[in-house]
């Protein structure tokens, strides 16, 4: 009997050591492979990826190790095998979820680094950045919910409760749907924005009369950075249900306008030549559009519109300010009679008992 027990102990020890050695070898091989792939520039894995996956990878291999029955026997933990296995299952779910989220972060970094949103022509980069930011949040929520569900379903008691509640889930879903319809609508609007992209990250928009840039897009709200550094927070449903201006929907370049009211005696050709000179001497102009037109004629003045182009809206704003200032200064210096006048005509009334006006 003692020999049999001795053989069993030896066999248990061999199994325990074998399991430990096998998992250690697998961990070392995985760690080394990922590290070499990260250090080789021809592979896509970034260098810092190994630092991010090392801890969840270690937890994953440790979870498999503590499930070993031979290890339980060797350490006299057979009485606690059930608890250890449940803890191991939870650690496996946790580590796999962690690895998936890390892989998502690495994939996002690899793709986005090829698109620079700071360039002037950054339309494609902003599309990719917007889609990945919104879809990343959706993916994280889905993975977290699935992981939580898998963890809870690993307990038989909870699984039985879930089966018993399954019949009433439809009614509960309807109740929750009515009570949280605004939240669900915002989430669906966020998904729709990610797919159709009426707005993108760094888009220039006019919302509620405020001019600004899209600074952040989430599943439920959008942050707009106003030109004076204020932040306008609006729900994602706003961009689905309400009209708004998007100045960079298809491209970053934009036309700028300057309106000037002058007298009827203004020399249009001279003013047109001055506009060309101003634009040609400015680095703000992109060289595409240069137009001066009379857009309206009123009783006391003429409305003149100067149309010019720039690479983006901030540049267009600075160019408009410059052109407006220079054109007014040009008229003041060379054609002061072209500035708006209010005319008063004095007439003589020859009838008796009348006075001159």
Tell me the per-residue pLDDT of 197-214, one tens digit each, with 9 for 90 and over.
888 888 889 998 888 889
**Mean pLDDT rounded to a whole number for the chain:** 76
Residue boundaries of the structural domains of the chain: 1-114, 119-251, 254-338
Distance between CA 314 and CA 204 in Å, rounded? Answer: 9
Model pTM above 0.85 = no
Q: Which residue has the higher pLDDT, 357 or 227?
A: 227
Distance between CA 278 and CA 88 in Å, rounded? Answer: 73
Distance between CA 281 and CA 37 in Å, rounded? Answer: 52
Distance between CA 157 and CA 163 in Å, rounded? Answer: 10
pLDDT at 123: 66
Q: Which CATH class is domain 119-251?
A: mainly beta
Assess if CATH 3.30.70.100 describes domain 254-338.
Answer: yes
Distance between CA 114 and CA 330 in Å, rounded? Answer: 47
Residues 6+ apart with CB under 8 A from 295: 259, 303, 304, 305
Banded model confidence at residue 294, pLDDT cuts 50, 70, 90: very high
CA atoms 92, 94, 100, 102: torsion sign: negative
Banded model confidence at residue 7, pLDDT cuts 50, 70, 90: very low
Banded model confidence at residue 131, pLDDT cuts 50, 70, 90: confident
Number of CB atoms found within 10 A of residue 106's CB: 18
**Res. 44: pLDDT tops 60:** no
Q: Which of 119-128, 129-138, 191-200, 325-334 has the highest mean pLDDT?
A: 325-334
Distance between CA 64 and CA 296 in Å, rounded? Answer: 80
């Amino acid at each position: 009997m003692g020999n049999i027990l001795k053989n069993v102990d030896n066999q248990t020890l061999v199994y325990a050591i074998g399991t430990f050695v096998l998992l250690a070898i697998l961990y070392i091989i995985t760690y080394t492979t990922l590290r070499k792939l990260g250090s080789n520039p021809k592979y896509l894995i970034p260098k810092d990826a190994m630092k991010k996956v090392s801890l969840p990878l270690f937890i994953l291999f440790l979870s498999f190790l503590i499930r070993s029955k031979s290890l339980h026997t060797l350490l006299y933990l057979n009485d606690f095998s059930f608890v250890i296995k449940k803890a191991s299952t939870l650690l496996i779910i946790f580590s796999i979820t962690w690895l998936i989220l890390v892989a998502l972060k690495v994939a996002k970094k690899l793709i986005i680094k090829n698109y620079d949103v700071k360039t002037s022509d950054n339309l494609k980069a902003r599309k990719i950045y917007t889609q990945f930011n919104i879809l990343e949040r959706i993916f994280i929520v889905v993975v977290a919910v699935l992981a939580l569900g898998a963890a809870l379903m690993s307990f038989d008691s909870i699984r039985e409760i879930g089966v018993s509640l399954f019949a009433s889930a439809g009614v509960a879903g309807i109740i929750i749907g009515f009570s949280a319809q605004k939240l669900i609508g915002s989430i669906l609007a966020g998904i729709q924005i990610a797919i159709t992209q009426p707005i993108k990250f760094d888009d220039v928009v006019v919302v509620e009369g405020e001019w600004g840039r899209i600074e952040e897009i989430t599943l439920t709200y959008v942050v707009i950075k106003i030109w004076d550094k204020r932040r306008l927070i609006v729900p994602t449903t706003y961009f689905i249900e309400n009209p708004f201006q998007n100045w960079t929907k298809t491209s970053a370049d934009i036309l700028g306008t300057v309106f000037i009211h002058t007298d009827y005696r203004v020399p249009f050709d001279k003013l047109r030549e001055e506009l060309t000179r101003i634009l040609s001497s400015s680095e703000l102009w992109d060289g595409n559009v240069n137009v001066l037109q009379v857009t309206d004629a009123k009783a006391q003045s003429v409305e003149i519109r100067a149309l010019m182009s720039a690479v983006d809206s901030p540049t267009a704003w600075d160019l408009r300010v410059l052109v407006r200032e220079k054109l007014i200064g040009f008229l003041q210096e060379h054609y002061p009679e072209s500035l708006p006048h209010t005319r008063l005509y004095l007439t003589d009334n020859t009838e008796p008992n009348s006075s001159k006006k």
